[in-house]
Amino acid sequence: MAPSADAAAPAPTPPLAPLIATQLKFLLTNSSLPIKVVQIWSGCSSGRYADRFTLGIPFCLDYVYWDFLYNAMHPKVAPDVIFGQGDEGFQPLVDYDESGNGGKSCLAHWDYRDPGGLLCLVEELRLLYIEYQKKLVEKVDDARLKFEISTVLAKEGIEVSMVSSTGRSDEVKFAVPLLDLDLKMMVPGCPWKLPQKIHLQAIFPSLFSVDGVKLPAWVDGMCMAEYIPTLEEDLKLQVVDASASIGCRRRFIEALAPAFGRPLEADPIFCRKATVLSISGIFTFLVHFVIPLQFPKQQPILTLQSCQHCNSQGIPITSPPRNSYPWSPRWEVTEMVERIYDYLADECQNFKKLCSDGFPQAK
């Protein structure tokens, strides 16, 4: 049965007007923040061009969502901006006008021929929004919070935000930049396009830890200004260890080739996984290596997968994960690989028997 006309798919969104598209492209290409486009639409149902969009603007380790409304009929005019729900008090242009500083805004010097106009506007509004949120937080009547603010708010790059929740009291969220390190520069070949920074997120009055990162203990009576230096020293050591661990895992993967042949697959960036093809007589199987972050203190986890046997669902048979083979973190990577090779020479026979006895051979 053919679908009715009422069920027809909605018309595709028309392209942005050229002048507007140029500004948006420049913003996404040149911004130092991971800004994302959430939605594009047209202010006119029959318009040839789209002329408005929603942007996700990074703020306080989250996003705020603002609508930028151009006019496709007059694309040379600067856009209007609608801020998110709950930010009705954020009126930067009104504040500019009341303070007599309206001439400082990039909107006062808007030039449609400048492709960076939208980028300047977003950066300006974001800085004003950071100050707006700080003023909101400073108005909270809580002695402990006021003390925390007085000790850390002057730290460069810190952001704070009021978090309103239905059914419970408002919270204050801190995002505190830690360590003057760009993780992108420490991981060769990483896919990150923007600098990667470490932040401490705290929601007053509780601190929340991050999986995989060991945070120093929070002692009763401590304030954030006391905690942050200890945290930064601790994180610096963890970052150095993590970076060094990538090098150790890479050398281990490279050492697989002389014994097993060149890996079929390998994680080239963080070196957490590798797969090799092995043969014992006529039995062909894969060996999957999962290399833990704590390598070489913790040994790789091995999983064998038959290339010739499938279960009743047609899925290749695999062994349970194995990490009970001989291992010492003090061995050179060549010896680690040789010991694994010797272990698999015996273990693959047990796995072959399991595959042959327990399941029909794939044809």
Instruction: Enumerate domains of the chain plus CATH numbers.
Output: 14-133 (3.10.110.20), 249-358 (3.10.110)
Q: What is the pLDDT of residue 25?
A: 95
Q: At residue 184, does pLDDT exceed 80?
A: no
Closest CA to 249 of 232, 230, 228, 273: 273
Tokens of 169: 């009291």
Q: Average pLDDT for residues 17-22, to the nearest whole number? A: 93
pLDDT tens, position by position, 239-291: 777 777 888 899 999 999 999 999 999 988 888 899 999 888 888 999 999 99
**pLDDT band of 13, cuts 50, 70, 90:** confident
Helices (H) and strands (E) in the chain, counts: 6, 13
Residue from 86, 17, 107, 29 nearest 53 by CA: 17
Give the C-alpha separation, 48 to 261, whole Å.
Answer: 58
Strands 301-310 and 316-318: antiparallel
Query: Residue 362: what pLDDT?
Result: 41
Say what the pLDDT of residue 240 is. 72
Secondary structure class of 161 (helix, strand, coil): strand
- What mean pLDDT do residues 138-160 have? 70
What is the mean predicted confidence (pLDDT) over 59-64?
Answer: 86
Q: What is the pLDDT of residues 198-243, one digit of tens each?
A: 555 555 545 333 445 566 776 777 776 777 777 777 777 777 777 7
Look at residue 206 in the predicted model and tell me its pLDDT.
55
**Residue 163 pLDDT > 70:** yes
Q: Is the CA virtual torsion 241, 246, 252, 254 positive or negative?
A: negative
- Model confidence at 5, in pLDDT bands (50, 70, 90)? very low
Task: State which of 95-109, 142-156, 185-199, 256-270 shows the largest mean pLDDT.
Answer: 256-270
